[in-house]
Amino acid sequence: MSEVLVIGHRNPDTDAICSAICYAEFKRLTGMPGAVAARCGDTNDRIDFVLKTFGVPAPRFVSDVSPKVRDVMQTEVLSVTPETTAAEALGLMDSHNVRILPVLDAQQRCLGLLSLFKLSKFLFPVTNRLMDSRRVLSSLPNLARTLGGQLLVGPEEDREEDLVLMIGAMGLESFAQRLENYDRNQLAVVVGDRWDIQNLAIREGVRVLIVTGGLDVETKTLDAARRNRVSLIASPHDTATTSSLCRAAVAIRHMLNQEFLTLREDAPLSEVKAEATASGFAAFPVTDAEGRTVGVLSKTDFLKPVLRKLILVDHNELSQAVLGAEEVEILEILDHHRIGSLTTQQPILFRNEPVGSTSTIVADCFFRHGVEMTKPIAGLLLAGLVSDTLNLTSPTTTPRDADVLARLEQIAQINAREFTDQLFASGSLLTLKPAPQAITTDCKEYRENRAVFSVAQIEELGFTQFWQRKDELLCALERYRSEHKYVFSALMVTDVVGQCSLLLVAGAKEFVERVDYPAVEPGVFEMRDVVSRKKQLLPYLTHCLQRMKTHG
């Protein structure tokens, strides 16, 4: 199932958080079970107050939505240990139709890769190395287990031995002559019901006798094997099958490829794709931060579509969106700001309305479609609405905002005016936050033609705290502008009681000179009756930008 993140802008305000939570709930109730509320920035004291008041957890924090390795990797890791036998590994590959297996230790760390090619090369050597086809590198318990047989005589120890395979399918005299050519301590003799061959092999003290065909081994043969310290294995298969299986009893640590490329699960696909596809490897172990193997990525996995999708609320510009938004599918946008330059690959639902808050639009979705709204949802929407419209006193307020607010008050059973007073008294950025954090808590980046700039807003009850911290705010604003190479950075500090603002501007001299509001101090301007960043300040600043370019 696709995960759909309903998410606001990078420095979310109350309206962005509340509209994301409530619109995700609306989408789930109307047939989109994968809708999840998210945020790409920290909450603040006022947002925390709202969430606590209505008993709702903060949306999931997502800093980057660009496709990651974890989004397309195979999460069910089919693996083997270094001591897995070749037969067991081949069975695993065959039953799951895979050609490569990661070899993991007890801590799930990758030691290498086992490929079907490397297995076949080991098990079926070329003609100029025919002796290798008779080599059996295994412990006796592994050998018996691979054959599906029984170790009837011999120690049950996992000591690996380097054995030479000999088939007892000749006359007794010929077999005796061949024995003279080999070290008896390395011989593994495979024979059927040839009692004479069995007895000679035991008398000569071969390392292990493998009796094939599922035949019963006589008690006297077992006793003779014990006396001569010859291990004896009973195989249920015929001689030919048994012989071929013996080679597959080898532990795969002898044939794993220790040269491989690992990928981190949180690595962006765009960053690793070129290196991975250009490499000679067909598969890549995927690790977590602790180095544990948590997935496997094949080259074909790069072709998989990423199931994560986005619904943007309270913004429509990529410069304000969560990182990576341009790399995933955007399904919808709900906003009440100016339309930016965002483009999409396909048509989408884009609901942009000239109202005071995105929460107004989300509430209207509930009302218009007859979807039942719970008290917590109504409370959150009320909080978002009064926060963005300063309880209907902002110039962005419309009659629709007032109508929606009245309905929300009834459902949530909350008095909007009293709640607004509590909301703005719940946290002062200028009291609680250091200057660099205060100026970026509700900050948005904008693009006007080729000019990039930022505009932040802080809402306070009066200007007392501002005047105490004016100098450090101006310094922080200039540093922020310089770090991001903006044409200018503006900060509007709004007195929600007095319904006026002070504007701080850091930028090029030729731009600051275009600001013609009364300057109360260098870089600080008085803006009476200006409280809206969207409807009042932003159009004015873009006008100043145009004047600077015209007269530049």
The pLDDT of residue 126: 59
Q: What is the pLDDT of residues 321-363, one digit of tens each?
A: 999 999 899 999 999 998 887 888 889 999 999 999 999 999 9
Question: Residue 113 belongs to what H/E stretch?
Answer: strand 110-115
Distance of alpha carbon 406 from alpha carbon 397, whole angstroms = 14
Distance of alpha carbon 442 from alpha carbon 300, whole angstroms = 42
DSSP reduced 3-state for 99: coil
The pLDDT of residue 130: 45
Q: Going along 224-288, which residue ranges are E strands? A: 231-234, 263-264, 283-287
Distance of alpha carbon 31 from alpha carbon 33, whole angstroms = 6
Residue 227 burial (10 A CB sphere; 0-12, 13-18, 19+):
exposed
Q: What share of the chain is helix, strand, coil (3-state, %, to 5)?
A: 40, 25, 35
> Which domains occur in the chain, in start order?
4-67+307-425 (3.90.1640.10), 429-551 (3.10.310.20)
Give the residue ranges of the chain where pLDDT is below 70.
1, 125-132, 551-552
The pLDDT of residue 128: 52
What does residue 474 show for φ and ψ, rounded to 5 degrees? -65, -40
Closest by CA to 82, choosing from 120, 117, 111, is 111
Distance of alpha carbon 405 from alpha carbon 385, whole angstroms = 7
Q: What is the pLDDT of residues 489-536, one digit of tens each?
A: 999 999 987 889 999 999 988 899 899 999 999 999 999 999 998 889
Distance of alpha carbon 412 from alpha carbon 458, whole angstroms = 27
